[in-house]
Amino acid sequence: MPTIHFEPDGKKVAASASETVLAAALRAGIPTAHPCGGDARCSICRVSVENGLEHCAPMTERERVLSEQLGFSPEVRLACQTTVAGDIKVRRLVVDDDDLELTQRLDQSSGPFSIGEEKELAILFADIRGFTEFSEKLPPYDVIYILNRYFYHMGKIIAAHRGSIENYIGDGLMALFGLDDSPDASFRAVSAGLEMIEDIARNRHHFEDIYGMSFRIGVGIHCGKVVVGTVGQRMTAIGDAVNFASRIESANKEYGTDLLISEEVYHQVAQKYAITRTIENAIIKGKSGTHGLYSVQALTDDKG
C-alpha cells in the first residue's frame, strides 16, 4: 500500500490506490483546508510533491483546467484530485497558524454559506448618478442622512422581492436574488430594479424641496454561477457574474439608460417585461468581445 509523507506535519499515512491525498490527510487528522468540498473548484488544498511525482496519477480534467488557469508548476497538485500508486512526499502549501485558525472558524460556523457554496443567482447593482457633485454642495451630515434614507427605501424594496443586500459600495449597493434557490430570481431582481427607479422618481420632490436638487439611479442585472461565502464577518458573492453585473450597471452612463439587463437575464424575463431598447454589440469595460444588453422600463400585461 502506498505511503504519503506529509510535511510540515511529519506524518506518514498509508493510502489505497483509489484514495486521494486529501482523503488520506483528513482520515489521519491532518488539517487540510478544502472550502469547495474537494471538487477542484478552488486551489486551497494544493500540495507540492517533493518526492515521487512519478507515482501520482495523471491530472483529472478539472485539475488540469485549474492548474493551467493558475499557472502551477508540474509538482504542484490538488490534494482532492490526486491519487498515488507508490510512495510520495508532499508539502501542504496552506499551513500557517492563520490558515488553520481561519479553516477551523469556518468549519465551526453555524451560519449559511460560511465556507462557500456555488449558487445560480441574479445579481443587482445600483448606483446613484451624479452623487459626487450632489454631495459636494452639502454638509457631511446631510450626505449621511440622504444615503441612509436612500438605502432604507432600497432595502425595503429589495426585501419585498425576496432579495438581500450583501454589500454597500459608497453610494452604491449589491443585492442578490435566488439565495433561497427559487427559479424566478431574475424576474424578482428586475421587478425590484424597476420599483427602485420608480421610488426615486416618486420621492424626488423630497430632496428638491429641501436641497433644490435631486438625483437618479442606474441599475444593472446579470445572472450566473457565483460562490457565496463568508468573508470577514459578512456573507458575500464572488465570481465573474458579479463583476459582469457591476459593469452592466456602469454601462447605463454610456447608453443613457436607467436599467440594463444582460442577455442571460433577458432570456428569463423577456415575456414579462417591455424591452424598450436592445443594445447589440455593446462593449463592456473589463470584458472581452461584445455583448447584448437590454433596457427595461415596464412590466407587460403578462406577469405569469
Averages of pLDDT over each 10 residues, the chain, 304 residues: 92 92 94 83 88 95 90 90 95 69 54 65 94 83 87 95 92 94 93 94 84 88 88 78 94 92 91 75 77 80 45
Is 97 a member of any domain?
yes
Shared domain check, 226 and 133: yes
Residue 134: predicted pLDDT: 80
Distances (CA, A) of 144 to 140, 141, 152, 157: 6, 5, 12, 20
Q: How many C-beta neighbours within 10 Å does residue 229 have? A: 19
Task: Give how many domains the chain has, as a whole number.
Answer: 2
Cβ-in-10-Å burial (0-12, 13-18, 19+) of 223 comes to buried
Is 304 a member of any domain?
no
| CATH at residue 293 | 3.30.70.1230
Q: Rounded CA gap, 33 and 38, in Å?
A: 9
pTM for the whole structure: 0.70
Range of the domain at 157: 117-299
Shared domain check, 84 and 209: no
- Provide the angle, in degrees to the nearest 10, between the axes of the packed helices 140-160 and 185-202: 140
Shared domain check, 103 and 124: no
Shared domain check, 284 and 147: yes
